Amino acid sequence: MFSVVCRRDADMSAFSQGRHLYGKASIKPGVFPTSHVDTQAQVSVPRPDGAPQNTHAMKIAILDDYQDAVRKLDCFQLLADHDVKVFNNTVRGLGQLASRLAETDALVLIRERTRINSQLLDKLPHLRMISQTGKASSHIDLDACTERGIAVLEGVGSPIAPAELTWALIMAAQRRIPQYVANLKQGAWQQSGLKTSAMPPNFGLGQVLRGQTLGIWGYGKIGRLVAGYGKAFGMNVLIWGREHTREAAQADGYQVAESRDALFEQSDVLSLHLRLHDDTRGIVKQADLMRMKPTSLLVNTSRTELLEENALVGALAHNRPGMVAIDVYESEPILQGYSLLRMENVICTPHIGYVERESYELYFSAAFKNILAFDQGDTSSVANPEALQRGRRK
């Protein structure tokens, strides 16, 4: 049985106000009626062919499905024998969130959209496991989960979608595509609008990538893909990172920057691909950004916390770098008045690096399978095995 808590496409105004609308119907998998009544739905959904009937149904909650996409995924049928609630809007209040999850056995998190702390966990006496789409990060208080015997299950990820988004932002920014499109809709032909006196001459025209220097800080899975895209476009690829990172880049035939300062000074496009941890938090300073060319582009699809607080706004006030493209923010969702949204030389996307169909199937299939496996005693996906010794509900 699926208990689906979600918005109706026929009533977007209610969704925008944060209300939950409910529907009741006997439907086919992946289909939901557009009419609604204000009662919770218990929707019968056939199990996948050949799937065994479980002896008990878990209460599973999926938070922050902004686009109402999860219940339409093929892998959603993995949970056909369980009581599943899908919430489409985000609530920040501790009381509201605790109320939503009061009876939950298993919680599915979509990346870092909701923070899980000790205060919330204390209000969830039934919670046995948290299944993370992708890898667990700092949004989950892992120690608090361990102390309470709550298992955190880690999923899988893919570098392809975020690497492709990074490249899409690079191309869009360097050719000023968002600005040209926005002005065309206002009746302005071949006008990017990027022509203030503080900008370099003809900055608004845009420029090709071939022959430019692509700087990449961080040469992991995503950084490697972006480097390959740059090479394919005829760019000069310049890598920086820890010693083993630089050695790996050199082994792949890429040039390594002489220094951190040189990376910022020489890059026409600089893309950040570092993991966020204590050593990298705030690693990019305003002084680093001030070394960039007034015509250069900074791209961040990794974590906003890699930048020192206010470093980007401070550097942009001095027109360094000339363009910025970002997909990550201090707090999400961002509000309409967010300062960077008002800057014409900044492209903001709503944290969609992993938001596309294939990645969702991959992420959620792993998250759902981990829940089912853990329920049957398989602990291979547990990120905090010490929690298993705490005697939480079994």
Q: What percent of the chain has pLDDT over 70?
A: 85
Which pLDDT does position 392 carry in this prediction?
57
Long-range contacts of 11-15 (CB under 8 A, 24+ apart): 11/36, 15/88, 15/89
Q: Token pair 């680093």 is at which residue?
A: 288
pLDDT of residue 195: 84
Residue 15 has pLDDT above 50, yes or no: no
For residue 197, what pLDDT band results from cuts at 50, 70 and 90? confident
User: Which residue in the block uniquely carries the two structure tokens 């996948």?
Assistant: 48
User: What are the angstrom distances between the C-alpha of 299 and each of 32, 162, 323, 350?
Assistant: 39, 12, 9, 14
Instruction: Give residue 341's pLDDT.
Output: 93
Best CA proximity match to 345, nearest among 313, 303, 381, 367: 313
What is the pLDDT at residue 381? 97
pLDDT of residue 53: 53
Average pLDDT value for residue range 180-204: 91
Side chain identity, residue 386: E
Say what the pLDDT of residue 124 is: 97
Domains (ranges, CATH) in the chain? Answer: 12-158+357-389 (3.40.50.720), 160-348 (3.40.50.720)
| 81 within 8 A of 104, measured Cβ to Cβ | no
Q: What b/e string do you get for 343-374 counting C-beta neighbours within 10 Å, with b at 16 or more?
A: ebbbbbbebebbbeeebbebbbbbbbbbbbeb
Give yes or no for a contact between 139 and 114, defined as CB atoms under 8 angstroms apart: yes
Bond into 125 cis (ω within 30):
no
pLDDT at residue 196 in the model: 81
Q: Residue 159 region, left (φ>0) first, then alpha (ψ -120 to 50), else beta?
A: alpha
Residues in the chain: 394
pTM (predicted TM-score): 0.83
Chain-wide mean pLDDT for the chain?
87
> Residue range 141-147: average pLDDT?
96
**Active site positions, annotated:** 303, 332, 351
Q: What is the pLDDT of residues 285-308, one digit of tens each?
A: 999 999 999 999 999 999 999 999
SS3 content of the chain, % helix, strand, coil (to 5): 30, 15, 55
**pLDDT confidence of residue 56:** 82
| Bridge partners of residue 151, in order along the sequence | 129
Of 62, 141, 27, residue with least CA distance to 387: 141
The one-letter amino acid at 230:
G
**H helices present in 68-199, as ranges:** 94-100, 118-121, 142-147, 160-174, 177-185
Tell me what pLDDT residue 66 has.
94
**Per-residue model confidence (pLDDT) at position 26:** 29
Cα–Cα distances in angstroms (integers) from residue 391 to residues 57, 130, 147, 148, 149, in the given order: 21, 16, 10, 9, 6
pLDDT of 229: 99
On the question of pLDDT at 38 being above 50, the answer is no
| Whether 69 contacts 360, CB under 8 Å | yes
Q: Which of 373 and 137 is assigned the larger pLDDT?
A: 373
**Mean pLDDT value of segment 43-70:** 73
